[in-house]
Structure 1
Amino acid sequence: MSKVILIRGKAGTGKSTLSKALGKKLNVMILHKDDIYDTVAAFINNHGDRNKICFDLLHKILISSLNSRVDIIIDFGYNNLDDVEKVKTWVEQHDGEWKSIMCTCDDKVWAERLNQRKSNPLPNQLLTDVEDLKKHYSNVRTGILEEELVLDTSLDINHLVNQAVNYIIKK
Structure 2
Amino acid sequence: MANVIVVRGKAGVGKTTLAKALGKRLNTMVVHKDDIYDSVAVFLTDRNARNQICFDVLHQLLQSALSCEADIIIDFGHNHLDDVEQLKSWVEAQNGVLKPILCVCEDETVWAARLDARKANPSPNQVLTDVQALKEHYAKMRTGVLPGELVLDTTTDDNTLVERVIAYVQSRRT
- TM-score, reference length from structure 2: 0.97
What secondary structure does 1:36 align onto? helix
Structure 2: distance between partners of 1:37 and 1:44: 10
Query: Mind listing any 5+ residue stretches in structure 1 that lack a counterpart?
Result: none
Equivalences for residues 8-23 of structure 1 within 5 A: 8-23=8-23
* Matching residue of 2:169: 168
Q: Deviations over 1:5-31 (max 9, x none)?
A: 000000000000000000001010000
Structure 2: distance between partners of 1:27 and 1:33: 19
Deviation at 1:58, TM superposition (A): 0.6
- The runs of at least 4 aligned residues of structure 1 exceeding 2 Å deviation read none
What secondary structure does 1:144 align onto? coil
* Matching residue of 1:28: 28
| AA at the equivalent of 1:128 | T
Structure 1: distance between partners of 2:15 and 2:147: 19
Deviation at 1:163, TM superposition (A): 0.2
Aligned length: 171
Using the aligned pairs only, state the percent identity: 57
| AA at the equivalent of 2:79 | N
What secondary structure does 2:8 align onto? strand
* Matching residue of 2:151: 150
Query: Mind listing any 5+ residue stretches in structure 2 that lack a counterpart?
Result: none
| AA at the equivalent of 1:47 | R
* Matching residue of 1:123: 124
- TM-score, reference length from structure 1: 0.99
Structure 1: distance between partners of 2:128 and 2:168: 31
Deviation at 1:155, TM superposition (A): 0.6
* Matching residue of 1:102: 102
Pairing 1:88–2:88 present: yes
Deviation at 1:148, TM superposition (A): 0.2
